[in-house]
Structure 1
């Protein structure tokens, strides 16, 4: 017994621990490099490989931390972290197994998909991006870090920064749209929000940029599918947001499922080592996506041992779920297919992340039950979520100024998304308690109180096909399918519509119609809802379409027939309140689209920063021209362009000026524009600046976003908005993948969306 106590004392002294009943707090640790090196010197090869293993929490529930299969592996030193385990109590039990029962007492990482909030849920990322407000976006990540860290989580698999120009792809909902410049600003804001300026604080968490790389450009818009593009396009259009996250100090990165240049990203050394580490200087660790290593077998890259070695050699450090590293790396090492140096490098990076998080100082630093009781889903957090959600909503149409509505008379609220609180948080809201979300019906009733009457009818199911609805309402996000006939549902809707002064139609997608493995070939509102909407329009009453969606939809019919369209995405846990705030004018809509809305799915992929062809249309009306680049059955332009969004007020742009018509490589030039609020409401306008490089050594986009400012302008007032252009704004990757600016003419466009017509020009000279 005495010898056992001596051994235990030496072990804890080495790690810097001093133990009491409920926690282990450390004496000051040695510097990170020295500490990690000394710890690794004590590790066996099996223990090193164990640090590279990231299983899901699996069968662990409260009270089973000592008996589950995962717990046994933790005790044996075969686990480096866990994910999808929630609550301080569970996490503390599991962490205790790691730091009290394993040989070296190395603490675990605890990860979760905290994508757009924790229990306080913000708009889906695509909606959040439509705020164009980096402070709000950073604040949403900060609150998510505060709440998740209070519940034991110290690592999030976010931000997702994949550029996507194909709305068929369901995961467009998780990203920030089609533009690399805007996506880069959002990537930086999210990383800063999660990680703060000190990971050792107990209210910050490790961020993970994903999915590296190019995941947003799969063939046919089908999830997990092949991606194939030129390197010049990678560097100019798809890489920038990943690099921005790296530049912001993101602590980890996740490999994507898709192949890149014929090699799956998970085994692609050019991506993971040459680009990510050698070119960009990434210092964190790389984790696979869920079973990403194993899936390379189906890609045709070899058996599990082969693909596991391929992944490690490429630069992958941690294996999520698949246990390819755990079960094959030792054999590969014995057969000289991997080296100890490669294994050690991966282990070092993971241990360094744990050190930075302060887990060696206090393994239970995220297990404060008082924080869990007082910092999650607080009124203050929900109030901020409500404000942020209101700014994510995009007003697409508002004929005759139907909106804002008056809090008077009788309002008919009709549609399958009207009383659907389980869907308000949207996709990838794994920590949200759906029962706490505010439905549109609840929000409207709260907003009007006794001043107006709100009548409700479901009107239709999500879709005529119950099997489709089942696929679209997974993970507890039911729409409570109504078994009445379609005629009965319509009759009830028309009855209350007849009693109303205005109709709000709550239609669109359910939360799980977008997101992972939710690709679509039809981008229209489901037919059952379109039929309902047409019946409501026949009443002659004004109809406001409140559109729920996780992607750009095709809205040709609706844009012609409905009085007003308010695109609300999925606004989060405070959805009903935020939507009502905008509907009644307590908040003036200020959201701007970050993804182009097509007129037809046949236009996809469609995006504003396209290149010209050698045979562009010669007319500006979009009329068909033979032997020109166009369609015979549809126009070229989208229904709603990137950057578009209406307000309850109107903004007038004038007096666009440039400080000089020439600029050299060491100068900056200034662009100014006057923006006047000529309407009846105070409002926020996102002023956008686009640049066109007129002549280049390679073909260049028609225009590219290079600056934006969201400004509050009171009614009747005018502001001068100033932009500064530097040489960095003019650079691009040429055919040799050199990041250069080239002399010549540049055009600058400033306005309220990507079709801005106000233009000035300058020349870049040596």
Structure 2
């Protein structure tokens, strides 16, 4: 029997290991220039610098602009282009704190030289970018990677991303996105870890650790920026930028934990979200940015606006004009303005008029300078600005291999009737059908700011490499992503009739997920459904490979296929990773981080919902909290995922029926590989608080175990639950544990298994 709280949980070589402990783990970091202490602690170096700064220079330290469209560094005839020259002048005048989304390390070095050697105070710039899931080596989109349920993998892919990003001169990434997303209509589901706050917290923490490394001053350390603070994943109707009405208890129990976990892991920045919460836009939300973040959590890093979000306070109707928007943003606790330039434009006049206190500006500048100092920029302003590194640190072989590993581990096998998968590499002919089979453009997925499309491996390429030159393989697009192709369906049907098995690669294009890509119908486009229907009518065995950035509503022809596989957007090594799983070189092991609804109209739909006063039976008469047309159960629940073997769970057993507030409870179950192939299982621990001051979820994930099992092998899985793990947010917003009755179960997904009751008593 192995203890689930083994501290070696992040070792990839362990045969069985736990990802995280039951309570959110914390990681102690030693950050130069960010000594532990209250948020008001001062640094003599920074204070001396502040005294020398003009109000214009202070506003400049709070202003960051985008690098897009600023022009070339050198023009043989006229010198720098006018837009670039204007930016260089701003840097020399001390009017910019940094730039974002530039991949020109030579230009960055030139800009830094101007800032350090030509500006009055020599304050170094900071260079940022939206590096979400890789730079030139693209890893699976974050939602896909979350399917691995593997914190160690997230550490390693973030670390590899940091190496590449810093080789391009990027020192700060606007990632990870840690929004808990429970409505699959929202396009930005793809950027986070799904619907569960426990999983989201652990993977957020892992990504921060990977991005930043152990020393923020290192050349390959990438400052993390958990976003979007806060509640962005709860926008109404799943519509991007929309309002989010979130009760304070839900905000603290669901949406804030991944941020707190990120800060505990050492993140020194966060980005305000576009949405309003309770009628107050996040960029101007004093309760979020000051009361909670700086007050309760003693966060000492900086808050940056989202793109132009301080200006959008006017559009929200929360500020009358730009000047008022700036005043409300900075006094709420938003330290840095991105892109709009409003802080530089309005802060000096606001201070000179007496409307804005200099002390408020000074505190924001302190936060920015503290972070720059923690990154070592005052000691080494040219860190991560070495053009020579691009030749050695971009698309390293080990990074490409990691992208393939991550792609394989992100794949989720939803269905596999009659063990259709894995397919044999010989002896059967295959028709490879669908608009994504030969497509590189949609392989990487959304939020690749500097994509390397040439390196993307298509499914056709991956399959041909797996099968060899003499493969019995036919390849037909059949249709476009959203439009039919003349004769396309006929060609696909002919290919399937001549084959033994059809493999259809269908789903969403890159521009159908991500920012600004909310969808009313989370379905496969009609042109593709027509293709699938026609292929299904042939009667051959069908494997459906889904490309997507969210859980989808599946049409009948997909639901009825013998095998269904979630492949998300897997990045550079998409084709190879899918082929590895398709032909059994790697058995699927991913688990769903989001629930698949039966119909889009069920959204928002998530497993850890609260119980209603009239809970519905999953099946039966349409009474209670349910729709007339559809079961309340998920088509595929959170945590679901199959392998190429079969697994049996023994009953959940507990060491004692009662524990005290100071005690702990050992929870056990035997997991057995009942099949004939080696299997990787992800055992999951769920708890339920039966009676509470605030109604609690019907189940909540509290732990996971990764198990590698040989055929016939059994492992006794143990989790240790303490009273702290059973705490919840009460009506007064405090987190504490009540005495009472609880349930616990170890299961393969969020709806399986028979829970076991136990009691927590005060003595």
Task: Work out whether the TM-score is over 0.5.
Answer: yes
Matching of residue 44 in structure 1 with residue 65 in structure 2: no
Distance 1:640 1:760 in 2: 24
Show the counterpart of 1:418.
Answer: 437
The answer on whether the counterparts of 1:65 and 1:90 sit within 8 Å (CA) in structure 2 is no
The answer on whether the counterparts of 1:159 and 1:187 sit within 8 Å (CA) in structure 2 is yes
The answer on whether the counterparts of 1:163 and 1:175 sit within 8 Å (CA) in structure 2 is yes
The answer on whether the counterparts of 1:65 and 1:94 sit within 8 Å (CA) in structure 2 is no
Show the counterpart of 1:697.
Answer: 693
Matching of residue 176 in structure 1 with residue 190 in structure 2: no
The answer on whether the counterparts of 2:228 and 2:273 sit within 8 Å (CA) in structure 1 is yes
Show the counterpart of 1:748.
Answer: 744
Cα distance per residue 1:134-168 (max 9 Å; x no partner): 00011111111111011111000001000010000
Matching of residue 658 in structure 1 with residue 654 in structure 2: yes
Distance 1:513 1:560 in 2: 21
Show the counterpart of 1:53.
Answer: 63
* Compared CA separation, residues 559 and 69, structure 1 to 2 (3 A): same
What secondary structure, in the 3-state scheme, does the structure 1 residue paired with 2:394 have?
Answer: coil
Distance 1:356 1:297 in 2: 34
Show the counterpart of 2:378.
Answer: 360
Distance 1:737 1:696 in 2: 14
Aligned-CA RMSD value: 1.6
Residue 720 (structure 1) aligned to one of 691, 699, 716: 716
**Residues 111-126 of structure 1 aligned to structure 2 (within 5 Å):** 111-126=128-143
Distance 1:29 1:527 in 2: 56
Cα distance per residue 1:189-225 (max 9 Å; x no partner): 0111111121011111110010000001111111000
Residue 623 (structure 1) aligned to one of 620, 623, 627: 620
CA displacement at 1:65 relative to structure 2: 8.1
Q: Which moved more, 1:39-48 or 1:639-648?
A: 39-48
Residue 709 (structure 1) aligned to one of 677, 700, 705: 705
Distance 1:30 1:514 in 2: 37
What secondary structure, in the 3-state scheme, does the structure 2 residue paired with 1:758 have?
Answer: coil
CA displacement at 1:109 relative to structure 2: 0.6
Show the counterpart of 1:507.
Answer: 506
Cα distance per residue 1:526-552 (max 9 Å; x no partner): 110001011111222111111000010
Cα distance per residue 1:399-438 (max 9 Å; x no partner): 1111001111321111001111121110001122112111
* Compared CA separation, residues 420 and 744, structure 1 to 2 (3 A): same
**Residues 73-112 of structure 1 aligned to structure 2 (within 5 Å):** 73-112=90-129
What secondary structure, in the 3-state scheme, does the structure 1 residue paired with 2:609 have?
Answer: coil
**Residues 545-694 of structure 1 aligned to structure 2 (within 5 Å):** 545-617=544-616, 619-620=617-618, 622-626=619-623, 628-694=624-690
Show the counterpart of 1:480.
Answer: none
The answer on whether the counterparts of 2:659 and 2:760 sit within 8 Å (CA) in structure 1 is yes
**Residues 134-173 of structure 1 aligned to structure 2 (within 5 Å):** 134-173=151-190
Cα distance per residue 1:110-137 (max 9 Å; x no partner): 0001101121111101001000010001
Distance 1:379 1:178 in 2: 33
Show the counterpart of 1:16.
Answer: none
Cα distance per residue 1:321-353 (max 9 Å; x no partner): 011110001111122221111111111111111
CA displacement at 1:30 relative to structure 2: 13
Distance 1:635 1:614 in 2: 18
Show the counterpart of 2:20.
Answer: none
CA displacement at 1:655 relative to structure 2: 4.5
Cα distance per residue 1:515-570 (max 9 Å; x no partner): 00000001111110001011111222111111000010001514542111111000
**Residues 294-309 of structure 1 aligned to structure 2 (within 5 Å):** 294-300=311-317, 301-309=319-327
The answer on whether the counterparts of 1:313 and 1:342 sit within 8 Å (CA) in structure 2 is yes
* Compared CA separation, residues 653 and 39, structure 1 to 2 (3 A): same
If asked which structure has higher relative contact order (CA below 8 Å, sep 6+), I would say 2
- Count of aligned positions: 716
* Compared CA separation, residues 410 and 90, structure 1 to 2 (3 A): farther
What secondary structure, in the 3-state scheme, does the structure 1 residue paired with 2:538 have?
Answer: coil
Show the counterpart of 1:522.
Answer: 521
Q: Which moved more, 1:368-377 or 1:141-150?
A: 368-377
Distance 1:219 1:166 in 2: 9
Distance 2:515 2:672 in 1: 42
**Residues 531-546 of structure 1 aligned to structure 2 (within 5 Å):** 531-546=530-545
Q: Which moved more, 1:672-681 or 1:487-496?
A: 487-496
CA displacement at 1:726 relative to structure 2: 1.3
Distance 2:550 2:634 in 1: 15
Matching of residue 242 in structure 1 with residue 253 in structure 2: no
**Residues 150-549 of structure 1 aligned to structure 2 (within 5 Å):** 150-300=167-317, 301-408=319-426, 409-450=428-469, 452-464=471-483, 486-549=485-548
Distance 1:337 1:269 in 2: 17
Segments ≥4 residues shifted beyond 3 Å? 28-32, 64-67
The answer on whether the counterparts of 1:544 and 1:565 sit within 8 Å (CA) in structure 2 is yes
Q: Which moved more, 1:40-49 or 1:136-145?
A: 40-49
Distance 1:51 1:36 in 2: 13
The answer on whether the counterparts of 1:312 and 1:338 sit within 8 Å (CA) in structure 2 is no
What secondary structure, in the 3-state scheme, does the structure 2 residue paired with 1:596 have?
Answer: coil
Q: Which runs of 5+ in 2 are unaligned?
A: 1-31, 36-41, 75-79
What secondary structure, in the 3-state scheme, does the structure 1 residue paired with 2:487 have?
Answer: helix
Distance 2:610 2:742 in 1: 15
The answer on whether the counterparts of 1:74 and 1:97 sit within 8 Å (CA) in structure 2 is yes
Distance 1:359 1:738 in 2: 39
Q: Which moved more, 1:631-640 or 1:515-524?
A: 631-640
Distance 1:526 1:395 in 2: 22
CA displacement at 1:29 relative to structure 2: 11
Distance 2:659 2:579 in 1: 49
What secondary structure, in the 3-state scheme, does the structure 2 residue paired with 1:216 have?
Answer: helix
What secondary structure, in the 3-state scheme, does the structure 1 residue paired with 2:755 have?
Answer: strand
Cα distance per residue 1:669-724 (max 9 Å; x no partner): 11111111111221211100000111112211111111111111122211111111
